[in-house]
Each structure stands twice: as C-alpha cells, then as structure tokens.
C-alpha cells in the first residue's frame, strides 16, 4: 500500500495499517464505523460518505495488487502483454526482439503445461497478427498459430474430460463434453500430439478411466512414464490432480485382486508425499498417511514406514498426529511379529475416529489369538460387540466388523479334528461379505 504504483492516498494507507494491526479484523469492536473513522481522520467529525469512499479506494487498491501478484507469478504474462503492446504500436524492432526471446525461453517447445500452451498460442497469434500488418501476401505464420491453438484446445479438452469423470464419481451428475470423441480420434490418429506432455498425460488418464480394466494396463504404464518424465512441468496442484487419478486406478485394481498394483500405488504415495504435492495448504490428509503406510507394509517396505512416521507425522493436523502415528507404529510392529511392542501401544489406544479404533481392535484381536491370550481375546470380542452396537458406524463397516467378531468366535470354538466342521467354517468365511480379515481367518484354519 506504500507503493505509489498502487496507492497515492494517505488515508487509504492509514485505513489499511489500522485494519491489519493486531486482531482488528477478528473482533467486531475494532470495526465499528466511529472507531475506524477516528483512526483514519482523527481531527474530523464523522462523515459516513467519506468513510465509504476510503473503503472503496482501499478495496480497489487491494484488488489491483492481488491481480498484479497473480499476473507476476507467471513469467510469460508480461512479455506476452508487451508483445501485444508493440504490435498495436507497430514497434517492429522491439516486437521481434521480444518474440525471439520468448521462442528461446521455450514457448516453441512441446514441454509445456496447459498455461504454457496458452502462451504458445498467444505468441504465435500475435506474430501472425503483426506480420499481417507488414505484408499479407507473404507467409505470416498463420499455420503455426492454428497448430498452437489446436494443441492448446486438445490439451484443455482432455484435462476437463478427466476432471469431469473424476467429479462424476463424487457427485451424482453427468457432464456433457461436446467434440470429445473428435478430439480422442485426432490424438489416436496423430502420434505427434503425444510429444506434448499436457496432451499425453490427460489422454492416458482418460483412457484408463474409460477402457475396460483388461485393456487399460498398457495405457496406465504409458501414463506413469509420462508423469515420471514430465510432471515437473506442471504446478503442484495439477500434479496432485493427475497423480490422484492414477492412484485411484491402482486402488481399483488392487481391490479387484490385481496384487502387482500394490507396488504402483505405493510408488505414487511415496512420490506424492515426499514431494508434498499431495498436501493441501501444507497439511497431509490423515487417511492418505494411513493408506500410504498400509500400502508400504503390504510390500514389506518397513524402512519407508519408519521414515513416514518420523518425517511426515508433523504434516498431519495436530489433533490427529499422535493417534495416527501410534497406529502406524503398532501396525509396523505387528507386521514384524513384534507383538508385545504392538500390544503396548494398542491396549490403551482409544482414538475418537471409529474406523481407526476398529482397525486397532482388529489388530489386537489377531495378536491375542496368535499368542493364545484367550481371556484377553474373549474380553476384546465382547467389547467390540458392544462398541458396534452402541456406536453409529457406517453400515458397510459395521457389517464387516460384526463378521470379524462372529467368525473369530467361531474360530476359537472350532474343533480341528472335525473335518466337516472345519470345511463348513472355511466355506462360510470364503463366501462371507464384507469380511476384510478373510485371508487371516483362512490362514488360521490352515494352521489347526
């Protein structure tokens, strides 16, 4: 506000300084009109029109500052604007100098994100418009302008088609995307378009979201290669979007029994957490943290789980840090068969989140069973039954944990020498749904 570029009024600066001081914007008493007016115009009687006027000027100056800051964040905005200014004023030498500088800066290359492709089109369009004023009978670069527009349009069309598909899974709505079929056909028939990362990444994301699973794995690995090579070209927000789309594909695959995609899911979690692109405003979702740990444990990536707990717990919301770190540490001990250490963490573990609570109880249940802690197991099963009865739990999760309790009780009472009883139990466990601990229950039957 002190810069004459944005503001030349002293009363606007006084108003700004007062508003941002201390907690003046947080408490209503500091925003009373009379009080504000006395701070800005201490020697004048209250004038409501004058106060509204200075408020208006401050708002306009702030809007200009915010707009300038946004424009300055992109290194191509001002050179493109200067190119346009030189064209309008027919300053030929300065125009060509700026144009050539932008070409050297990379706007003629395919390695651009969506914003870069928009600038590339603006560059070519300004050139064609300028050359048309010089000599319309010569090559004015119009084909390059058309090509740049096509690439920009195709990239944006594919990006928004992917975002629409993802959003349709979250809300009950359907998006209509005109010309999308034509765009997909153009890309399929013109391999040169796949030299543009902004086209390639969203083209393959669209394919893995729409093709039958049996036909989409090749497209997924083409997508991973493109992301690994070119993700640095995109903003952290955009990287987060397309890595989450790829991650959702992997999760869907493992949920349907394609175990090799645990490795793919883990690698995406690892990259997204270590680069922090998956964080929002510096905060890591507790569920992303937990799911990343579980994916790593499926692959015996114990060292990385230790790293996750040590280095990234601090990025969880403060109220969730201790519980989620304790759970992941207990799960790490559990997977390493260090049951006593895991039990010590979990016996007094009572998080407010019911899913984390039930997951912890299921882990304790398995350890008590495997360690022949029958009294502790019996007490735990009863407490889980009571917890599920009195707690509001989503129906799927309630049914799942009720089945875990039911079949663990049956397992304890199972006569290993009664083959018919064992077979009947195995058949029940195999067909029961939902039942996330199916494999563990079947493993215990095999050990009888």
At residue 45, does pLDDT exceed 90? yes
- Of the pLDDT bands very low, low, confident and very high (cuts 50, 70, 90), residue 5 is low
Distance CA 354, CA 356 (A): 5
**What is the arithmetic mean of pLDDT over 65-75?**
91
Q: How many CA atoms are closer than 13 Å to the CA of 203, on its beta-carbon side?
A: 27
Give the DSSP letter of residue 278: T
pTM: 0.84
Whether residue 39 contacts residue 18, with contact meaning beta carbons closer than 8 Å, is answered with: yes
Three-point CA angle 247, 253, 256, nearest 5°: 145
- Of the pLDDT bands very low, low, confident and very high (cuts 50, 70, 90), residue 7 is low
Three-point CA angle 183, 106, 234, nearest 5°: 60
Q: Which residues, listed in sequence order, are joined to residue 283 by a DSSP beta bridge? A: 280
Whether residue 270 contacts residue 228, with contact meaning beta carbons closer than 8 Å, is answered with: no
Whether residue 168 contacts residue 133, with contact meaning beta carbons closer than 8 Å, is answered with: no
pLDDT value of position 349: 86
**Per-residue DSSP letters for 343-360?**
HHHHTT---SSHHHHHHH
pLDDT value of position 135: 85
The pLDDT tens digits of the residues spanning 178-222 come to 999 999 999 999 999 999 999 999 999 999 999 998 899 999 999
pLDDT value of position 255: 85
pLDDT value of position 2: 64
At residue 1, does pLDDT exceed 80? no
The pLDDT tens digits of the residues spanning 242-291 come to 999 999 999 999 988 899 999 999 999 999 999 999 999 999 999 999 99
Distance CA 296, CA 332 (A): 10
Q: Which residues, listed in sequence order, are joined to residue 280 by a DSSP beta bridge? A: 283
Indicate the helix (H) or strand (E) that contains 448: none
The pLDDT tens digits of the residues spanning 90-145 come to 999 999 999 999 999 999 999 999 999 999 999 999 999 999 998 878 899 999 99
Distance CA 359, CA 362 (A): 5
Query: What are the φ and ψ backbone dihedral angles of 280, each rounded to 5 degrees?
Result: -115, 120
- Of the pLDDT bands very low, low, confident and very high (cuts 50, 70, 90), residue 448 is confident
């Amino acid at each position: 506000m002190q810069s004459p570029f944005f503001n030349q009024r002293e009363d606007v600066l006084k108003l700004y300084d007062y508003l941002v001081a201390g907690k003046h914007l947080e408490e209503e008493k500091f925003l009373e009109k009379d009080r504000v007016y006395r701070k800005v115009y201490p020697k004048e009687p209250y004038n409501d029109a004058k106060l509204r006027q200075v408020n208006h000027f401050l708002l306009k100056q702030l809007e200009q500052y915010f707009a300038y800051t946004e424009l300055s964040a992109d290194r191509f905005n001002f050179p493109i604007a200067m190119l346009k200014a030189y064209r309008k004023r027919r300053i030929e030498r300065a125009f060509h100098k700026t144009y050539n500088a932008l070409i050297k800066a990379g706007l003629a290359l395919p390695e651009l994100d969506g914003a870069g492709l928009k600038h590339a089109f603006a560059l070519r369009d300004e050139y064609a418009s300028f050359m048309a004023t010089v000599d319309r009978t010569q090559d004015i670069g119009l084909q390059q302008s058309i090509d740049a527009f096509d690439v920009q349009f195709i990239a944006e069309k594919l990006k928004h088609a992917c975002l629409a598909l993802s959003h349709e899974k979250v809300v009950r709505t359907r998006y209509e995307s005109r010309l999308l079929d034509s765009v997909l056909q153009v890309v399929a028939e013109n391999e040169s378009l796949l030299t543009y990362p902004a086209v390639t990444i969203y083209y393959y994301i669209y394919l893995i979201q729409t093709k039958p699973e049996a036909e989409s794995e090749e497209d997924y690995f083409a997508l991973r290669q493109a992301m690994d090579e070119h993700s640095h070209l995109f903003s952290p927000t955009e990287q987060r979007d397309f890595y989450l789309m790829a991650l959702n594909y992997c999760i869907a695959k493992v949920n349907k029994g394609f175990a090799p995609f645990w490795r793919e899911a883990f690698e995406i979690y690892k990259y997204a957490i270590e680069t922090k692109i998956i964080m929002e405003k510096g905060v890591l979702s507790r569920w992303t943290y937990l799911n990343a740990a579980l994916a790593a444990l499926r692959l015996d990536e114990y060292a990385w789980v230790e790293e996750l707990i040590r280095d990234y717990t601090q990025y969880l919301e403060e109220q969730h840090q201790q519980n989620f770190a304790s759970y992941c540490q207990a799960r790490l001990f559990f997977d390493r068969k260090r049951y006593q250490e895991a039990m010590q963490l979990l016996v007094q573990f009572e998080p407010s989140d019911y899913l984390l609570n039930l997951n912890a109880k299921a882990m304790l249940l398995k350890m008590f069973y495997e360690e022949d802690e029958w009294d502790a197991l019996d007490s735990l099963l009863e407490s889980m039954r009571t917890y599920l009865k009195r707690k509001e739990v989503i129906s799927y999760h309630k049914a799942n944990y009720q089945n875990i309790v039911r079949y663990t009780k049956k397992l304890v009472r199972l006569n290993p020498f009664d083959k018919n009883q064992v077979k009947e139990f195995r058949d029940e466990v195999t067909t029961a749904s939902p039942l996330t601990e199916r494999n563990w229950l079947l493993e215990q039957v095999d050990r009888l």
